[in-house]
Amino acid sequence: MSRYLAAVVLLAGLAHPAVGAAQAAQNATLRRAQQAYDNLEYRQVLTLARAALRERLTGAERARAYELLGFTYGAMDSILKAVDAFKQVVLLDPERQLDPNRVSPKAYSAFDVALRQVLLVRQLRVDSVSFVGGQGAVPVRFTVTQPARVVARAIGSGATVVIDSGAWNGQVNLRWPARLPGGDPVPAGTYTLVVDARLGQNTFSASQPIRVSHGRVDTLPSVTSLPGYQFLPETEIPPQSWRPVGLAFLYTGGALVGTLGLESSSLGSSSKRELGLVGGAALVTGFVMMLRKPAARPAQANILYNHLLRDQIARRNQDIAKENVARRQQVQVTVAPVSPVTPK
Amino acid sequence: MTRAALGPLLLALALRPAAGQLVAVGPQFVLADYREVASGLRYRGNGFGGALWARRNRFSVEAAVVRLSFDPVAGSAADSGFTATQVDAWVAYDVAAYASIEVGVLHRSVDPEFDAQSVGALRVGARSFYQIGPGATVVFRANYLAAPKFSGGGHAAVSLDLGLGLDVRLAGRLHGTATYAFNRMNRRTNPGGTGEIDAPIQETVARLGLALGF
């Protein structure tokens, strides 16, 4: 019983990727083949799929027919035949990818072997990017299924530029600076990014149209502050203290001591009425000032700090002005893919 | 303009704060004590005067003129009073945030002429000033009175002048001022060629006034 259940689950997994294909199939024979596959009638699948391939099919339908054959041979343990069928699938649809979580390991390994036996350039991708001409690059990546001599070019009405070439296999990542040999940015327009792979007599090309546009480089705004730095108040209110009355006492005491010290012994003690009047006024004023909120005074450290900060901002703005002069002479290059990969 | 309108206008001007005050001028009421030769020759007086103060950068100028009426105090050997006109003037240069050096003159003329000594001298000294609160400044000064000249003759090798001052901004441009001055002159004279004798002079003055800043 458990064996039967396992077989059902496995077959259901094998059938699943073909369901979507059957839904889109227009050819009646191919639809019948799909139904037979859904009913686990493998002999009939083989017969009907082969019959469908002898009929007039679209490229997608032919790929589905070979895929049904591949899955069926895989289920029937005819691995070599499954590999041959999957080779036809990837030749017809190089971007075809199986989900290892949804197909049987046998089918997946057969598909993987098929991929390695056919020279393909797959999954050619160009990321949308925008950069200042000469200061950036366009990321280009693709997969070569066999070790091959590969040349990547950008072909457009304005120019044809070789991006890179080499003997590569597997995932390849390139960076195209979008420049002409002279160093200038490639002219604006539509280009086709072509990747040619050659292995002996076998060749394969994949292409991706892209659009290159030019724009003005954004200039930088002047700064009025520096991140993390703030102007400090240039005055500060000192804390209340006894200093006013202390100073009044000190100054008055100085006058009193001086007067007592300078008094002539022959003239007798001088009048203290005048000193009492003025000294008393000074002490009262000092006492009042001690109780009052002190006056704001210049904060020299903050003034110096603000001065240095203003100098820094002025220097930064000078740099920005120079940078903007340079930026006004630069070109902002924007590259974007315009349609999916088209196999040739 | 009528006098009735002039009063409120001056008051309004006085209460308006000055943007950058460079000049202050105002009247003063003065109290004074004067002693000469011996402890028995003592006078007390009062009077009125005026003061002017001006500043430009580190330089400042100060001048005060007062007219005093002195009367003998009870128990004094003097039997009549006199009037005196005293002029004090200074030119100061700030050498630090709280200190200045200064030179100036002191001149006191007496009427009747020989009831007391008329004096003229140069001042050389220094002063210290400190702001003890918003608009309140205290000043302490010490001057050496150089080359004093006396109407009765004689000389004084050691003559000193001490001062204490207070300036408080009362409202806007209006300031209150109080100044204390003590000067002592060790005058020696030789009357009739009989030999030098001490004839010291000692004066204390308190000036209380108002000033208008511009």
Q: How many helices (H) and strands (E) does chain A have?
A: 9, 10
Report yes or no: B200 and B182 within 8 Å, Cβ to Cβ.
Answer: no
The domain of A66 spans 2-116
Is there a cis peptide before residue A100, judged by omega within 30 degrees of 0? Answer: no
Longest dimension (CA), chain B: 66
Whether A140 and A102 share a structural domain: no
User: Is 70 exceeded by the pLDDT of residue A132?
Assistant: yes
Whether A254 and A300 share a structural domain: no
Residue A220 belongs to a domain: no
Q: Which of B42, B44, B136 sits opposite A285 (nearest CB)?
A: B136
User: Is 60 exceeded by the pLDDT of residue A4?
Assistant: no
Whether A206 and A157 share a structural domain: yes
Residue A221 belongs to a domain: no
**Nearest in space to B143 (alpha carbons), one of B177, B108, B117, B181:** B181
Task: Give contacts of B166 with chain A, Cβ < 8 Å.
Answer: 278, 281-282, 285
The string of pLDDT tens digits covering residues A40-75 is 899 999 999 999 999 998 989 999 999 999 999 999
Whether A98 and A125 share a structural domain: no
Whether A153 and A76 share a structural domain: no
Whether A128 and A197 share a structural domain: yes
Answer whether B132 sits within 8 Å of A278, measured CB to CB: no
Whether A274 and A129 share a structural domain: no
Residue A223 belongs to a domain: no
Whether A211 and A337 share a structural domain: yes
**Nearest in space to A334 (alpha carbons), one of A253, A219, A171, A217:** A217
Give the start-end residues of each E strand in chain A. 121-126, 129-132, 138-156, 160-176, 189-199, 202-216, 235-236, 297-298, 331-337, 342-343
CATH code at A64? 1.25.40
Token representation of residue A302: 């903050």
The string of pLDDT tens digits covering residues A233-249 is 999 988 888 888 999 99
Answer whether A275 sits within 8 Å of B164, measured CB to CB: yes
Residue A67 belongs to a domain: yes
Please report the pLDDT score of residue A340 as a whole number. 56
Is residue B25 within 8 angstroms of chain A, CB to CB? no
Whether A206 and A337 share a structural domain: yes
- Confidence bin at A24 (pLDDT 50/70/90): low
pLDDT averaged over chain A?
Answer: 86
Whether A8 and A111 share a structural domain: yes
Report yes or no: B32 and B205 within 8 Å, Cβ to Cβ.
Answer: yes
- Out of A96, A116, A136, pick the residue that ends a domain: A116
Tens-level pLDDT at each residue, chain B (214 residues): 555 655 655 555 444 444 445 899 999 999 999 988 887 788 999 999 999 999 888 899 999 999 999 998 887 777 888 999 999 999 999 999 899 999 999 999 998 887 888 999 999 999 999 988 888 999 999 999 998 998 888 888 889 999 999 999 998 889 999 999 999 998 888 877 788 888 889 999 999 999 998 8
Task: Give contacts of B186 with chain A, Cβ < 8 Å.
Answer: 264
Residue A44 belongs to a domain: yes
Residue A222 belongs to a domain: no
The string of pLDDT tens digits covering residues A152-204 is 999 987 678 899 999 999 999 999 998 888 888 888 889 999 999 999 888 99
Give the start-end residues of each E strand in chain B. 23-36, 38-56, 59-72, 82-96, 99-111, 119-133, 136-150, 155-171, 174-189, 197-198, 201-213
Answer whether A285 sits within 8 Å of B133, measured CB to CB: yes
- Out of A116, A145, A163, pick the residue that ends a domain: A116
Is residue B179 within 8 angstroms of chain A, CB to CB? yes
The string of pLDDT tens digits covering residues A90-124 is 999 998 888 888 888 888 999 999 999 999 999 99
Please report the pLDDT score of residue B5 as a whole number. 59
Domains located in chain B, CATH noted: 3-213 (2.40.128.100)
Partners of residue B156 on adjacent β-strands:
B187
Whether A338 and A206 share a structural domain: yes
- Number of domain units in chain A: 4
Please report the pLDDT score of residue B155 as a whole number. 86
Whether A203 and A339 share a structural domain: yes
Residue A27 belongs to a domain: yes
